[in-house]
Amino acid sequence: MEIDMAQKVSCTLTVQNKMGIHARPAAMIVRISNNYSGTSVYVEKDGEQVNGKSIMSLMMLAAGKGSEIKFVAEGDDAENMLREITELFERKFDEE
């Protein structure tokens, strides 16, 4: 019997850039997420949960400046993935 010891990690981040999560920031999030093929990620806003590896799904959250978004990642590299995404949010998606 194999026991899956995959990590499940979550964090809540605030959108700080002026334009919110539009196509470019969504693509940046997806690019980071896809670097971790063995890790899944879901994004929640106002009770709606979407796949964090889908640009269209992220854009449909309509997350404007000030929105709080919860990321839930599961897999061996969940912590590293969320660390990179957190750094991206802190840099305001390199837009400002």
Say if residues 71 and 11 touch (Cβ distance below 8 Å). yes
Q: Which pLDDT belongs to residue 10?
A: 95
**Mapping DSSP to helix (H, G, I), strand (E, B) and coil, where does residue 27 land?**
helix
Q: Which pLDDT belongs to residue 1?
A: 36
| Selected residue with higher pLDDT from 95 and 89 | 89
Q: Which pLDDT belongs to residue 7?
A: 80
Q: Which pLDDT belongs to residue 81?
A: 96
Q: Which pLDDT belongs to residue 95?
A: 87
pLDDT in tens, 10-62: 999 999 999 999 999 999 999 999 999 999 999 999 999 999 999 999 999 99
**Superfamily of structural domain 7-94:** HPr-like (3.30.1340.10)
Catalytic residue positions, numbered = 22
Q: Domain extents for the chain?
A: 7-94
CA torsion 20-10-52-84 (nearest 10°) is: 70
